[in-house]
Amino acid sequence: MSKGFLHHIELYVSNLKRSIDFWGWFLDEMGYEPFQKWESGRSWRLGEVYIVFVQAETRFLDIPYHRGRVGLNHLAFHATSRQQVDEITRKLRGRGVTILYADKHPFAGGKDHYAVYFEDPDPMKVELAAP
């Protein structure tokens, strides 16, 4: 692996089961495979990069996540095509997932940026962008 490539991302979540249900299907759609599993966490891997979800301790749940605070704003994934963005958008809607900027979809990122923006259960913003 080359210097500077992302190794992994670890996210603490408010409800591990809910996050696994949400992220499991999406990461599968993106080509990730289950990687690690333990009582308080799960991870999925694509190549050398993996994403980890860990149940936050109860004592840290009093201040919920908000993407406007200091810290992570969102995760963005590459789509293979505009058709994949459209397909995932349909699946997200079918699952009752909040589509952000729906009035500007699929060009919420600008006239040359074809993407869907949505929220995970915590609600962290996620982006799937076409080339």
Q: What tens digit of pLDDT does each residue of 39-51 get?
A: 999 999 999 999 9
Region of 17 (left: φ > 0; alpha: ψ -120 to 50; beta: rest) is alpha
- Counting runs of H as helices and runs of E as strands, what totals does the chain give? 2, 7
What domains are there in the chain, each with its CATH number? 1-58 (3.10.180.10), 74-131 (3.10.180.10)
85: left (phi over 0), alpha (psi -120 to 50) or beta: alpha
pTM (global) more than 0.75: yes
Reported confidence tier of residue 3, pLDDT bands at 50, 70, 90: confident
Distance CA 121, CA 2 (A): 33
